[in-house]
Amino acid sequence: MFTEEDVKFYLAELALALSHLHGLGIVYRDLKPENILLDEQGHIKLTDFGLSKESVFDDSSKTYSFCGTVEYMAPEVVNRKGHGTASDWWSYGVLMFEMLTGSLPFQGSTRKETMHQILKAKLAMPQFLSADAQSLLRALFKRNPGNRLGSGPNGIAELKVHSFFASIAWDDLLHRRFQPPFKPVCSRADDTFYFDNEYTNRTPQDSPCMPPSATANELFRGFSYVAPLLLTQQQQNQQSGPGEDDADSIDANDGDAAAAIAVKNVCRLRGVKTSPFLTDYELKEQLGCGSFSECRRCVHRVSGESCAVKIIDCAKRDPREEVEILLRFSEHSNIVSLYDVYASAGKVYLVMEMLWGGELLDKILRQKFFSEREASAVLDVVCRTISYLHSQGVVHRDLKPSNLVYASEDGSPESLRVCDFGFAKQLRADNGLLMTPCYTASFVAPEVLKLQGYSAACDVWSAGVLLYTMLAGQTPYAHGPADPAEEILNRIETGSVELEGGNWESVSPAAKDLVRRMLHVDPSQRITAAQVLQHTWVAHRSALPMFRLAVRQEAGQMLGAMRATFAAVNSTSTGAGNSGRGGAGRQAAQVPALQSVAASDLAKRRGKSKPKVSTEV
């Protein structure tokens, strides 16, 4: 199911495509969801013209073939009395009904019953549809082709003026000036992430052609060419992991059941390799270590290129969500690039770009001084990245300074990368589908939306802590690494941040205003990442002062205080699920303790109202 606004966009683009075909005398005759694909920008592409018919310009040139998918057939196709371009507008109505309701308007238990419904049944119009949508459906579901909308002498012009499309600027739509409601994430030219494995696992076959003559090979003697891009990707695909059969075989090599299941889940993702990691890479020194994984430098045995590899212990955590998010979004310029994924022997290896510039906080400490203009440039990159993730229904939930790393040693803001998506989450619907912007508003339960809002606000809060540190030269809530977690949380929950004295005497009012908005204690009132980008302090960076603000805390004190702050916040959210991870305080993280059913007010009332037996009188 789609929202009406999304349906309006896709139907309008589809109407332009059908009108173009009809103007060329072509009846499409196979309009159904499977034949409508999206390009990399999210615009529709009509495919599969195997059943199309040419040279049908008017009623005198009807075609009589019985073809198409029966549920989408027009009545004149079913009764075989001849049909023209008007049959496509009936199928167009069926598609609209299906997109708005999630079901087909005419569908029986057998093909014969379905065809009978198409010819005779009265359409039950769902009342939750808007009046304009119902009006358009009724105009399209006319069993007499001559009365059907779009089939008259004016063609698509009749449809364009219908009230359902009142908000569509058709000329802008034709020239692709509209922003599609959903933009697929495509990592490479032949990306098949959105295609079902049922089709992509089939062995490709050449199309039949005329047999070559005995001398045909002489025409291309000495000539050979393969596009380098396709050759490189083909070599990578040949090394990629196979399907479920090979994933299942991993169980025998993994002693731990949890690790085996986690590895199997990762192996089902396209592009994951099941060959041993050490076959292609050589491990070097350790770069970092966490609770579930370690990060080390590795060198590709053939190219000699240095990369970073995150080695995840699947016995401790299922990394599928992290791998899936990185596969979809690592092409973003400010998200760490993912090169390879290996899964074997209870571990998952994420091979990523080597970030030589070091952590953001280390750069601040080395530099000793940071101007407002420099801080604004850094915040712009960070919030642009998390705003993009939030728009795709993804929350990072662990946006601490150690996960913001420079790719290059020059430390330019554009080389910043957001790393470590171990706690990131992709919002999903009850049916498991990814919740992208075109679905979120109408098809997610309010409590899920509230949870998503909290998580997104947590990312902004983390960026606010970073901004405060860049401007003040010290952390906002912890004075040192020895501060107790309870004390840090109490400071966070009061919602007060010190914006007077020290560096704040030299900081602009706009910067102070943005800090207050980003660190607001109430997540529902906190500024969003998109709104941060529109704030004057970020949008008008060239007007900011270049005065250098000093780092006031000692390096060890600041690093320890920052770690203590995020450790305190994360410790409260861990016990309450992941909803509050990386957020401000315990407001969004606390979950009430469940008691027995007998303790409920309803059970107590029922107990009092029971008639007493004679022995109790």
The answer to pTM > 0.85 is no
Query: Is a pLDDT exceeding 60 seen at residue 44?
Result: yes
Q: Is 547 annotated as a binding residue?
A: no
Q: Is 82 annotated as a binding residue?
A: no
Instruction: Please enumerate in sequence order all residues whose Cβ is within 8 A of that of 43, keeping only pairs 6 or more positions apart, or say none.
Output: 13, 176, 180
Contact 487, 481 (CB under 8 A): no
Banded model confidence at residue 449, pLDDT cuts 50, 70, 90: very low
Which CATH code fits 4-174? 1.10.510.10
Q: Which superfamily is assigned to 240-353 in CATH?
A: Phosphorylase Kinase; domain 1 (3.30.200.20)
- At residue 427, the pLDDT reads 74
Cross-strand bridge partners of residue 406: 358, 416
Query: Is a pLDDT exceeding 60 seen at residue 481?
Result: yes
Q: Is 438 annotated as a binding residue?
A: no
Least confident of 58-67, 408-417, 482-491, 570-579: 570-579
Active-site residues, by number, are: 30, 398
| 415 DSSP assignment | G
- Selected residue with higher pLDDT from 357 and 561: 357
- At residue 440, the pLDDT reads 36
Query: Is a pLDDT exceeding 90 seen at residue 278?
Result: yes
Where is mean pLDDT largest: 205-214, 481-490, 514-523?
514-523
Least confident of 296-300, 495-499, 584-588: 584-588
Query: Is a pLDDT exceeding 80 seen at residue 236?
Result: no
Query: Is a pLDDT exceeding 80 seen at residue 315?
Result: yes
Query: Is a pLDDT exceeding 60 seen at residue 434?
Result: no
| 584 DSSP assignment | S
Q: What count of residues does the chain have?
A: 617
pLDDT in tens, 505-547: 889 999 999 999 999 988 888 999 999 999 999 999 988 887 7
**Cβ neighbour number for residue 184 with a 10 Å cutoff:** 16
Q: Is 458 annotated as a binding residue?
A: no
Q: How far apart are CA 221 and CA 202, in angstroms?
A: 32
CA atoms within 13 A of residue 174's CA, in its CB half-sphere: 9
Q: Is 288 annotated as a binding residue?
A: yes
- Selected residue with higher pLDDT from 297 and 562: 297
- At residue 243, the pLDDT reads 38
Average pLDDT over residues 217-243: 56
Q: Is 559 annotated as a binding residue?
A: no
- Selected residue with higher pLDDT from 238 and 463: 463
Domain boundaries, the chain: 4-174, 240-353, 358-574
Furthest-apart CA atoms within the chain: distance in Å:
111
Closest to 393 (Cα-Cα) out of 336, 434, 354, 353: 434
| Domain 4-174 matches domain 358-574 at the CATH topology level | yes
Q: Is 294 annotated as a binding residue?
A: yes
Q: Which superfamily is assigned to 358-574 in CATH?
A: Transferase(Phosphotransferase) domain 1 (1.10.510.10)
Average pLDDT over residues 94-100: 95
